[in-house]
Amino acid sequence: MPFTSSLFLSSLTVRNTELSNRGHLKVKVWGSFFKENGAKAFQEMNYFLAAFWYSQALEAAPTDATLLSNRSACYARMQRGSEALRDATECISLRPDWPKAYYRAGAALNILK
């Protein structure tokens, strides 16, 4: 009976979906895991660790403007203006209509002045 539990069956379904999507789901799940850990570390004011987790998430989703914005905020909190500006600039190129991207760039430039 333990192998017919709903938890086991749902894990098989997830695993089969993962295999059929050739790893796409796996990347998405890991990206979410990294992003959640980044958010938690940021809330705990551990900006170095948060930047690490957002960097890991960006490996899974390199064009995610939100992740770049979040990592830019981490760098800004650590007074690392160049890195903050680099991420903010990339964020602007991905989402030129997003005001928060420009805010991140302004915060980074303020550190560099």
Round to whole Å and give the CA distance between 6 and 25: 20
CA 85, CA 35: separation in Å to the nearest integer?
A: 20
Spans of all domains in the chain:
12-112
Over residues 48-71, the pLDDT tens digits come to 999 999 999 999 899 999 999 999
The H or E element containing residue 23 is none
Fold observed for domain 12-112:
1.25.40
pLDDT the model gives residue 23: 55
Q: What is the pLDDT of residues 65-111, one digit of tens each?
A: 999 999 999 999 999 999 999 999 999 999 999 999 999 999 999 99
Distance CA 92, CA 113 (A): 20
What is the value of pTM for the model shown? 0.77
Q: Helix, strand, coil shares of the chain as percentages rounded to 5?
A: 80, 0, 20
Task: Supply the DSSP string of 37-66, one letter for each residue.
Answer: HHHHHHHTT-HHHHHHHHHHHHHH-TT-HH
- Taking the CB of residue 28, how many other CB atoms lie within 10 A of it? 14
pLDDT of residue 31: 77
Residue 16 to residue 110: CA distance in whole angstroms: 49
